[in-house]
C-alpha cells in the first residue's frame, strides 16, 4: 500500500518505520528531505522515502496526519485538493491548558478536519496512547493484544485502517462514526493524566475483552 506521513515525530516516525518494515511503500512528507530527523528514520527502515508534502501525498492511498493539532490548517489547506478521495488517518489530539480539551469539548478535532476536507475520508486512530506504545507495544506476558480504538464515517476507509491496525499487531476496535472521536480524545486525556501526571508506566494500554 502507498502511505504518506505528514508529521514524523515520535508518533508519526514510529508508525512510518513499522509500516515500512511490513513492506508498505511509505513516504515521509518533509520540507527538508535531508533533515537529520528524516535520515535517522531512514536508517531504521531502509526504503523509507522522503519528499515534499505535496509530492508525498500525490500518489498515496492513505495519509497519516501526525502533527500537533494546532498545525492542522497550515499543513492541510495547501493539500486539500490532493487529499480529495484519499483516506486521512487523524493521529492528532487537541490539548488545551492544564490538560483540558483544546476545543472545549464543543467538537472533536476529527470533526474539524473532516469539515476542512469534505472530500477526504477521515478516520481517527493511533491517538489514545503516548508515543512509547507506537515504538513498542509488545506485552509478552499477556494473552490478549492491546486494543486500538478508531472511528470514522466511511466504512471502506475504516476497513483499510483497521487492516493496518491489525497488521501492526493491535486489536482493531471500531467504535463507530466520527461523533465518537470526541470520546477518543477524552480517552487520550485520561491516559495523559494517568501516565504523564499520575506516574503510571507509559506502557499502559487498554484491552478489549468479550464473552
Check residue 40 and give its pLDDT.
96
Which residue, 56, 71, 88, 82, is CA-closest to 9? Answer: 71
Instruction: Kindly report, residue by residue over 67-108, the tens digit of the pLDDT.
Output: 999 999 999 999 999 999 999 999 999 999 999 999 999 999
Calpha distance 150→62 (Å, rounded): 15
Crossing angle of the two packed helices 10-21 and 36-44, in degrees rounded to 10: 30
Mean per-residue pLDDT of the chain: 96
Going from the N-terminus, what domains does the chain have, and what CATH number goes with each? 2-197 (3.40.50.720)
Query: Is the pLDDT at 189 greater than 80, yes or no?
Result: yes
| pLDDT for the residue 16 | 98
Strands (E), 72-206: 87-90, 121-124, 147-152, 171-174
pLDDT tens-digit map of 28-80 = 999 998 899 999 999 999 999 999 999 999 999 999 999 999 999 999 999 99
Round to whole Å and give the CA distance between 2 and 61: 5
Q: What is the pLDDT of residue 141?
A: 77
Amino acid at each position: 500500500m502507498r502511505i504518506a506521513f505528514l508529521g514524523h515525530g515520535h508518533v508519526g516516525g514510529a508508525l512510518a518505520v513499522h509500516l515500512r518494515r511490513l513492506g508498505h511503500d511509505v513516504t515521509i512528507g518533509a520540507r527538508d528531505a535531508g533533515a537529520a530527523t528524516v535520515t535517522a528514520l531512514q536508517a531504521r527502515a531502509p526504503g523509507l522515502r522522503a519528499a515534499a508534502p505535496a509530492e508525498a501525498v500525490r500518489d498515496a492511498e492513505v495519509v497519516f496526519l501526525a502533527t500537533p493539532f494546532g498545525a492542522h490548517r497550515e499543513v492541510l489547506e495547501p493539500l486539500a485538493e490532493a487529499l480529495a478521495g484519499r483516506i486521512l488517518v487523524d493521529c492528532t489530539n487537541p490539548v488545551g491548558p492544564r490538560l483540558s480539551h483544546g476545543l472545549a469539548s464543543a467538537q472533536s478535532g476529527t470533526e474539524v478536519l473532516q469539515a476542512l476536507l469534505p472530500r477526504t475520508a477521515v478516520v481517527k486512530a493511533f491517538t489514545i496512547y503516548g508515543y512509547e506504545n507506537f515504538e513498542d507495544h509488545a506485552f509478552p506476558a499477556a494473552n490478549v493484544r492491546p486494543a486500538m480504538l478508531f472511528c470514522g464515517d466511511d466504512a471502506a476507509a475504516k476497513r483499510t485502517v483497521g487492516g493496518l491496525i491489525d497488521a501492526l499487531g493491535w486489536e482493531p476496535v471500531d467504535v463507530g462514526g466520527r461523533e465518537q472521536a470526541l470520546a477518543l480524545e477524552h480517552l487520550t486525556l485520561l491516559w495523559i493524566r494517568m501516565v504523564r501526571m499520575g506516574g503510571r508506566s507509559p506502557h499502559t494500554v487498554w484491552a478489549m475483552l468479550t464473552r
